[in-house]
Chain A
Amino acid sequence: MIRGIATLLGFQLAGELVARLGHLPISGPICGMAALLVWLHLKGGVDNELGKVCDGILANMALLFVPVGVGAMSYSQLFANAWAVIALAILVGAGATLLTTAFVTRALIAWTSESEDRERRPVAR
């Protein structure tokens, strides 16, 4: 438990250091996430303790954005003025993302499997 938390905090700290010292436009926790991903690949697996801690945090992740979400109360004026734009952007944006992702993936899968058939690769997928 403690070791899992320490691992996460350690990677966050490392990410923070790299992002600050390197003047990267990426935030510390994201650097930490990338670093942990690389480290997991090098190690070849997620150890039990880290896995448990991560699953625990991620299962309750929704809770963590509540404090910041409440901050929206400071923007009540903005919501009153621009609710139509916000609603439109969210609805249309969500629709566009959904359909684009699905169709681009489908098209490319069809395209790659076709070229594989032509090369007659014996590898079964």
Chain B
Amino acid sequence: MGLTCAIYAGAVEVSRRSGSHPIANPVLLSVCCLIAVLWFARIDYQHYFANVQLIHFLLGPATVALAVPLFRHHRKVRQAALPIVTGVVCGSAAGILTALAICFAAGVDLALTTSLSTKSITAPVAMSVAEQIGGAPSLAAVFAVLTGMTGAAFGPWLLSKFKIRTPMERGLSMGTTSHGQGTARILQESEEAGAFAGLAMGLTALGMAILLPLLARVVL
């Protein structure tokens, strides 16, 4: 237990220090460090997880807490509800369909496919959705983080390349694709884009959490 706490404190420190780099992701860094430490110390994952259960438990309340930023932006949604909701839904659908198409084309197994389908949902929600549709929660969390990183690193460049310049369009795209990390990245451009990204992230989480399990029931 003491050892686990020490490892964890170290990981927190690492993520804090890397916080200033947009590409060096705190979650990915701490995960890699922890895996390395656990591997060297020959501690198995079950043992580690039993000791950090409390941190894991907080994911539930954190998911519920997402309602607050969603509520704070509700005026902006009302102003352009139809374009925003349709844009976010089409964007999420495009992401899921391309990921599924690539998985089916490559013939990878179902658990990997379902865990990849949740990659544009913010990690805590992605985990619970993946679990329900027969994916692996830990894979879903890692994919969500990797997608977040990818979008945060290349998203603004790609959007500029296609001459997408308004804060609303940029914010929505980043939030739909890269959830929390995309939101943090686009917030550096402008407050308005950040608000739209937060909104898109919440909408994606809520919408996909409802749609994906239903879709899985029909398809699988």
Determine the chain A residues whose CB is within 8 A of the CB of B26 once the complex forms. 62
> Is B68 a contact partner of A85 (Cβ separation < 8 A)?
no
The tally of CB-CB contacts under 8 A between chains A and B is 310
For A30, the closest partner residue in chain B by CB is B209
Q: Provided the pairs A97-B94, A102-B159 are in contact, do residues A62 and B180 lie with their beta carbons within 8 angstroms? A: yes
> Is B80 a contact partner of A67 (Cβ separation < 8 A)?
no
> Is B141 a contact partner of A112 (Cβ separation < 8 A)?
no
- Classify chain A: how many residues form its interface, as a range: 35 or more
Determine the chain B residues whose CB is within 8 A of the CB of A122 once the complex forms. none
A82 CA to B139 CA, complexed, in Å: 13
- On chain B, the number of residues with a Cβ less than 8 Å from chain A's Cβ atoms is 109
- A24 to chain B minimum Cβ distance, whole angstroms, is 9
Q: Residues of A with Cβ closer than 8 Å to B?
A: 5, 8-9, 11-12, 15, 25-30, 32-34, 36-37, 40-41, 46, 50-51, 53-55, 57-58, 61-75, 78, 82, 85-86, 88-106, 108-109, 112, 125
Interface centre among A11, A50, A58, A62 (most CB of B within 10 A): A62
> Is B108 a contact partner of A85 (Cβ separation < 8 A)?
yes
- A119 to chain B minimum Cβ distance, whole angstroms, is 15
> Is B60 a contact partner of A28 (Cβ separation < 8 A)?
yes
User: Does chain A have a CB within 8 A of B98?
Assistant: yes
| Per-residue contact bits, chain B 131-173, to A (CB 8 Å; 1 contact, 0 not) | 1100011110111111100110011001100101010111011
A70 CA to B38 CA, complexed, in Å: 9
Which residue in A11, A61, A105 is a CB contact (below 8 Å) of B124? Answer: A61
A91 CA to B209 CA, complexed, in Å: 22
For B138, the closest partner residue in chain A by CB is A71
A72 CA to B102 CA, complexed, in Å: 21
Interface centre among A65, A66, A71, A90 (most CB of B within 10 A): A65
> Is A68 a contact partner of B87 (Cβ separation < 8 A)?
no
For B209, the closest partner residue in chain A by CB is A30
User: Does chain A have a CB within 8 A of B41?
Assistant: no
Interface centre among A5, A25, A37 (most CB of B within 10 A): A25
Interface centre among A41, A50, A54, A88 (most CB of B within 10 A): A54
A58 CA to B63 CA, complexed, in Å: 9
> Is B87 a contact partner of A67 (Cβ separation < 8 A)?
no
Determine the chain A residues whose CB is within 8 A of the CB of B65 once the complex forms. 8, 33, 53-54, 57-58
Determine the chain B residues whose CB is within 8 A of the CB of A94 once the complex forms. 95, 120, 147, 150-151, 154-155, 177-178
User: Does chain A have a CB within 8 A of B188?
Assistant: no
> Is B64 a contact partner of A33 (Cβ separation < 8 A)?
yes
A105 CA to B84 CA, complexed, in Å: 6
